[in-house]
């Protein structure tokens, strides 16, 4: 699907990252890809990402701090030098300080809010601005989000606000870049056990409820998200932009628990079965 295509993937943390699965599928489908890693003096961040992408024959692996204009400039200059024009870009980046993520939204600090919104939402705008200089007409930008940007998900808190901003940015960027025939879309993935997910309180409970309520009766995984990403990155989706595709086994369409969920939850709740 991506034969003779090239692109950039930003945001791999380790081999459990959704971006890692996307990278693997891009490679298997013929794409040549360059990667970013978080800059740090110890070299640990580079080493983590290197372990993931080394088997995928990366065109380059360079540091990039999306909250630094100078770092973005240097990264995309390297991308241009190494790859020339590209066909796609994947933005899989989000962060909120742990103390602000785990407190009630009303207790979010001003500084925590700034950091979360800048890193998780503005970074897409900043990255798209640099990428447009090397994206070919027909190119695709893809970012990753979660249902907590559309609805209140207990425990998602500040990150839900950041994802709502990210999803709005997708739509506005789709209009800004549409005249250059560059598409911008997002995938709203169901809960997947990644490094980022470990910061969310009661994540295991969230996964269990999702699996019970989803029409397919299970949770999605990174491989399924990666396969849907291929569609949005390839020419098969040439008429799709500004879209938020849900890859969550249908959980987002459900307004109330399916038949049998309440009974199941009651049986597993000791306080309900043994008053």
CATH number of residue 96's parent domain: 3.40.50.720
Residue 266 lies in a domain: no
- What does the pLDDT average to over 60-87? 97
Domain assignment of residue 80, yes or no: yes
168 assigned to some structural domain: yes
- Give the confidence band of 272 by pLDDT, cuts at 50, 70, 90: very low
Asked whether residue 274 carries a pLDDT value surpassing 50, the answer given is no
For the chain, give the percent of residues with pLDDT over 70. Answer: 92
Q: Active-site residue numbers?
A: 146, 156
| Domain-embedded: residue 250 | yes
- Overall number of domains in the chain: 1
- 54 is a domain residue: yes
| pTM, to two decimals | 0.91
pLDDT of res. 262:
65
Distances (CA, A) of 169 to 130, 149, 255, 271: 15, 12, 26, 44
- Whole domain around residue 196: which residue ranges? 6-200+218-254
| 216 neighbors 250 (Cβ within 8 angstroms) | yes
**Residue 93 — pLDDT band, cuts 50, 70, 90?**
very high
Exposure string (b/e) for 122-152, b if CB count within 10 Å is 16 or more? bbbebbbebbbebbbeebbbbbbbbbbbbee
Q: Which three-class secondary structure state does DSSP give residue 186? A: strand
pLDDT at 211 over 60: yes
* Range of lowest pLDDT (53-62, 69-78, 149-158, 175-184): 149-158
- The answer to the question of residue 238 being in a domain is yes
Contact 217, 205 (CB under 8 A): no
Tokens linked to 122: 């503005």
Query: Per residue in 96-132, pLDDT tens?
Result: 999 999 999 999 999 999 999 999 999 999 999 999 9
Question: Has residue 275 got a pLDDT over 70?
Answer: no
**Higher local confidence (pLDDT), 214 or 269:** 214
| Residue 178 belongs to some domain of the structure | yes
Check residue 230 and give its pLDDT.
98
Q: Is residue 60 part of a domain?
A: yes
Which of 72, 7, 11 minimizes the C-alpha distance to 196? 11
């Amino acid at each position: 699907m991506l034969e003779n295509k090239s692109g950039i993937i930003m945001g791999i943390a380790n081999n459990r990252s959704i971006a890692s699965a996307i990278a693997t599928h891009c490679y298997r489908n013929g794409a040549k890809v360059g990667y970013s890693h978080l800059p740090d003096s110890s070299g640990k961040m580079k080493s983590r990402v290197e372990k993931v992408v080394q088997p995928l024959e990366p065109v380059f692996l360079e540091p990039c701090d999306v909250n630094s204009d100078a770092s973005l400039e240097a990264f995309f200059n390297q991308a241009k030098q190494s790859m020339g024009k590209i066909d796609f870009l994947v933005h899989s980046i989000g962060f909120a300080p742990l103390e602000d993520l785990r407190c009630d939204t009303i207790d979010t600090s001003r500084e925590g809010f700034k950091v979360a919104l800048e890193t998780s939402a503005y970074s897409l705008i900043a990255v798209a601005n640099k990428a447009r200089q090397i994206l070919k007409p027909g190119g695709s930008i893809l970012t990753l989000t979660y249902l907590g940007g559309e609805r209140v998900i207990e425990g998602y808190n500040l990150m839900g606000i950041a994802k709502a901003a990210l999803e709005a940015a997708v739509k506005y960027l789709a209009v800004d870049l549409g005249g250059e025939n560059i598409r911008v879309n997002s995938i709203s993935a169901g809960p997947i056990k990644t490094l980022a997910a470990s910061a969310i309180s009661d994540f295991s409970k969230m996964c269990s409820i999702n699996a019970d309520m989803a029409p397919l009766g299970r949770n999605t995984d990174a491989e399924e998200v990666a396969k849907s990403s291929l569609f949005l990155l390839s020419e098969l989706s040439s008429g799709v932009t500004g879209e938020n595709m849900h890859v969550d086994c249908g959980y987002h369409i459900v307004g109330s628990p399916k038949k049998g969920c309440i009974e199941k939850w009651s049986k597993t709740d000791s306080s309900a079965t043994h008053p």
